[in-house]
Amino acid sequence: MKKLNKILFAAAATAMCIGSSANVYAASNTEKLTYTPVYADTFSMSYNDNAPRFSGIDAATEYVKTQLKQRNEQFDLIVTDWAPEEGSDDSAFDTINKKLTILSDDPAEGPYLYMCSTNTVSSIYADDGEYLSYSVKYNTTAEQENEVTEAVNKLKEAPEFKAAMESDAYDRILWAYDTVIAGMNLNDNVIAPEYSSAYSAIIGKNANETGQIHLLIRLLQEVGIQPSLYISNLRSITNDSADYHVLCLVQVDDIFYFLDPVWDYEMGGNKHRFFMKGYSDLDNENDGNEEFTHVHLFQIFNIPIETILDGSIVAKNAYIRSCEDGDVNNDGEINAVDASMILREYALLSSGKSKSFSAAQKKAADIDGNGITDAVDSSLTLSYYAYVSTLGSENAPESIKEYIK
């Protein structure tokens, strides 16, 4: 029963831990996945009295980051003078991991750096803090990472990159997505480290799903977008055989959206089938093909997707870049569906859950112009729909804003 609980927790964490920008993992025993740290047997570790001590999590995180960038395979540290946030039971190790996956000014850090290695970490509590012992295997060398940086810098000299940087987040994400697919040569060996890095994708021109997504994450960080790794379609919860699918999420307007360039490529080129999608419409352009249908990890246990993701920081619907007042689903009509969506957004916000509207939808939902999305906006939208349905569109006001004047 304890093992099942651990697996259930890990499956739920796959979807939910991105709320703190933490890296995503597939199950409690994930050593075969080349980007996931796990706790080792704490009783087998040796204690080094000379391990450096760091006061607070921030200093400790910077030290770990430096060790990873230098490709040191073994290092220890002691974290002192810190306490988990109120209501959290995270260890120093957990907290460092979360901080490691937050976007920084250096695009070679954050989730990108975190995916460069397999970390086995032992953790015990010392008299004056938490003792951490890292044993690390790397997919690339520091020299190879320098080659990646040079290749990425060449991409950034292209006019497409410069145009994207002068535009909004949507165009910047689109540049990264299109660039990965344009250069994709997909290797079907899903676990081999030599195919599991951005180096494999951009230099070796031969990378598996993990390597392709690693490059995507690097390019997203280059354009200032917070990414997060995501795992779906896990066939074996014990990891006796590696069989899973790797994709990515990106954060825009404080909400995460799905990106899956690998399956877009495998379905025959880049048609943006899986670009900036929510959990409810991620597969609405896969032509009903079961081979390219995402199965979220908690669904293995017959847990409905809404149970885990509804009201979470993961978007329910695809990103909407622009829309007219009242037409929050951008289908060209203002009707009861829009009113229902506005009311749902109000309910989410009122209950302290994460919002689901993009910035454009939020603006379009604020019918009375008071700066908030509430039941009044929903009621006005429904009233307008009833009015137009009765009067006929040819006699209707030019806009919903004209109607409420």
Give the per-residue pLDDT at 271: 93
Give the per-residue pLDDT at 90: 86
Which residue ranges make up each domain of the chain?
Answer: 35-138, 142-309, 336-404
Give the per-residue pLDDT at 245: 93
Q: How far apart are CA 191 and CA 396, in angstroms?
A: 60
Per-residue model confidence as pLDDT tens digits over 145-195: 999 999 999 999 999 999 999 999 999 999 999 999 999 999 999 888 999
Give the per-residue pLDDT at 257: 97
Residue 277 phi, psi (nearest 5): -100, 160
Q: Does domain 142-309 have CATH number 3.10.400?
A: no
Q: Does domain 35-138 have CATH number 3.30.110?
A: yes
Q: How many helices (H) and strands (E) does the chain have?
A: 15, 9
Cα 29 to Cα 43, 124, 322: the distances in Å are 18, 20, 43
Give the per-residue pLDDT at 83: 83
**What are the residue ranges in the chain where pLDDT is below 50?**
1-44, 238-240
Residue 55 Cα to chain centre, angstroms: 30
